[in-house]
């Protein structure tokens, strides 16, 4: 998710001592943990309406296009990770698995089963409020 005007704000925040940025790092950490939990719950749980197929002795019901991908082997869920930037002004959440991108955007042979964008969208308001409050607090402490 990109924030308009973020570059200008980050330059201003980078001038603050690291201890004054701690609240921002905490807000980001809470947010990415929340994203991680949400994505894992949606991928692992819930019903699906895609086709049902059998692989040896295992029957699996896939997700339909547009639904969160349905966990089959558990690789996507176990590959999800997050980190906070050392300067406490950025965070990353995602997967290094190539097929995470294929699920998100689809391919020429498969329609998308987005998981990252719906996760961000579902949590955006809470994250925005949390991070905005932390940034405002850091700036208030710097002024006063």
Task: Tell me if 76 sits within 8 A of 99, measured CB to CB.
Answer: yes
Does 5 reside within a domain? no
- Its pTM stands at 0.86
In a domain, 2, yes or no: no
Residue 1 covered by a domain:
no
Average pLDDT on 88-110 reads 94
Count the alpha carbons within 13 Å of 73 in the hemisphere toward its beta carbon: 5
Cβ-defined contacts of 101-106 (< 8 Å, 24+): 103/69, 103/76, 106/65
Examine the pLDDT at 94 and tell me if it is beyond 60: yes
Burial label, 89 (beta-carbon count in 10 A; 0-12, 13-18, 19+): buried
pLDDT per position as a tens digit, 42-74: 999 866 777 788 888 888 787 889 999 998 889
- With a pLDDT cut of 70, the percent of the chain lying above it is 97
Cα–Cα distance for residue pair 122/59, rounded to 1 Å: 30
The pLDDT of 106-130, averaged and rounded, is 96
Q: How many domains does the chain have?
A: 1
């Amino acid at each position: 998710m990109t924030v308009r005007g973020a570059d200008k704000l980050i330059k201003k925040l980078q001038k603050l001592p690291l201890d004054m940025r701690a609240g921002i790092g905490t807000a980001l950490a809470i947010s990415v943990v929340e994203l991680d939990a949400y994505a894992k719950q949606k991928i692992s749980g819930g019903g699906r309406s895609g086709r049902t197929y059998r692989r040896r002795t295992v029957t699996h019901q896939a997700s339909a296009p547009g639904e969160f991908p349905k966990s089959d082997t558990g690789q996507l869920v176990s590959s999800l990770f997050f980190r906070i930037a050392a300067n406490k002004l950025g965070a990353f959440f995602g997967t290094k698995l190539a097929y995470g991108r294929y699920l998100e955007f689809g391919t020429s042979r498969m329609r998308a089963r987005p998981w990252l964008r719906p996760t961000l969208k579902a949590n955006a308001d809470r994250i925005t409020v949390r991070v905005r409050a932390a940034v405002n607090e850091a700036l208030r402490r710097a002024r006063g």
